[in-house]
Amino acid sequence: MTRALALLARLTAQGLLSLAETDAALAAASTAGDPGGAQARRRWALADAVAECDRARRHAAWALRERLAPLLAARAPRAALERAAADPSGLLLPHETKGLLERQVARALRQWG
C-alpha cells in the first residue's frame, strides 16, 4: 500500500488528482468494516505524503531557478537553458518547468533593460 500511497500523494501534489478522488481511491482499497481505524490512518498518511511531496516540488523549483541563474547571467543560448531546465527528479511536470524557465527568462530580460 505504501507505493500506492506515494503515487496518490504525488499525483495529488501535482494537481492531477483532487483530494476527493484520492479519498475515493483509499476507500475503494480499504477492506469492509475498517478494523481499528485503518482508513483514518491511511488518510493521515496520505496527507503527510502529499505535504512531503509538495515540499519536494518546491525544492525542485528552487533548484531549477538556481541552475538557471548563472546561465541567464552569462546569456546562454536557449538550448542550454532548456537542457538545464530538465527536472531529473520528475517531480515537476513539463509545463511547470517550461513556465519556470519562461518566467526566469522574462525576469532576466527586464533586468537587462
What pLDDT is recorded for position 34?
64
C-alpha cell at 14: 501535482
| Cβ-contact 48, 13 below 8 angstroms | no
Q: Whole-angstrom Cα distance, residue 68 to residue 98?
A: 12
Q: Whole-angstrom Cα distance, residue 26 to residue 40?
A: 10
Backbone phi, psi, residue 16, to 5°:
-85, -20
Residue 30's domain comprises 2-112
H/E element, 49: helix 38-73
The tens-digit pLDDT sequence of the chain (113 residues) is 578 888 888 899 999 999 888 888 777 766 656 666 777 888 888 889 999 999 999 999 999 999 999 999 999 999 999 999 988 888 999 999 999 999 999 999 999 87
How many helices (H) does the chain have, and how many strands (E)?
5, 0
Q: Whole-angstrom Cα distance, residue 64 to residue 107?
A: 15
Domain count along the chain: 1
What pLDDT is recorded for position 109?
92
Nearest to 11 by CA among 52, 50, 64, 56: 50
What pLDDT is recorded for position 112?
86
